Structure 1
Amino acid sequence: MPKSTLALCVALLWPAMSLATPSDGSEPQQAVVALAATAAVQPPATVILRGVVDSIDERNDTIRIRLSPDRIEPFKVQDGLLFNAVRFGDPVAFSVQDISGFRTIVGLTKE
């Protein structure tokens, strides 16, 4: 193994080796708690809604959907291909997640 490759391996693995060798009894427990907290991160909640497409705004990546006769809401679109799939007046069922503070359509089907 060339010296540069060996040096690179040592540089990359050294921090992991230092984490794997605890100095006292409390460090392994802290590492396990930190790992469990990281693994417990939940994906955003998905809500399934139904409505009728009211308008499409490709420039702003939004679709306005009439959820009830007196309620129209704009939703961001995660996948721009959805603009080709729907038109004004199409009844749709769609999945929404809160992504970066915006209600975003992550899945859509025409009914």
Structure 2
Amino acid sequence: MTKSTLALCVVILWPAMALAAPTEVSENQQAVVALAEAAAIHPPSTQTLRGVVDSIDERNDTIRIRLSPDRTEPFKVQDGLLFNAVRFGDPVAFSVQDISGFRTIVGLSKE
């Protein structure tokens, strides 16, 4: 069971548990509270980078960006409309998050 499913179950079942349980805080309620806190969804960390567009690969949903003279990295694209916004050689500032194990561009602007 995923954390989000567990959190949803806790949110739905919590009022019924509160009505059915005595006013004392039981061990079961403490366990449910602990699970709800553990299942809280934390937004992924965002990293802001700058570079120059090196290549665009729409077929694989990636943009390769030159971060420094000796370092080029491919990044997945969250929104396919970004392919229309940039061209080879454009200087860009972009936000990256780890989504499903891939460094993914979630925001991009030309400089």
CA positional deviation for 1:18: 5.7
Q: Which runs of 5+ in 1 are unaligned?
A: 1-14
In percent, how many aligned pairs have the same letter?
72
Aligned pairs, number: 96
**1:98 aligns to what?**
98
TM-score by length of 2: 0.78
TM-score by length of 1: 0.78
CA positional deviation for 1:22: 3.6
1:7-51 CA-to-partner distances (Å, cap 9, x unmatched) read: xxxxxxxx8376342488211111111122222x31111000000
Find runs of 4+ consecutive structure 1 residues off by over 3 angstroms: 15-20
Matched position secondary structure for 1:89: coil
**Structure having the higher Rg:** 1
CA RMSD after TM alignment = 1.8
**2:30 aligns to what?**
29
1:45 maps to 2:45:
yes
The letter of the residue matching 2:107 is G
**2:17 aligns to what?**
19
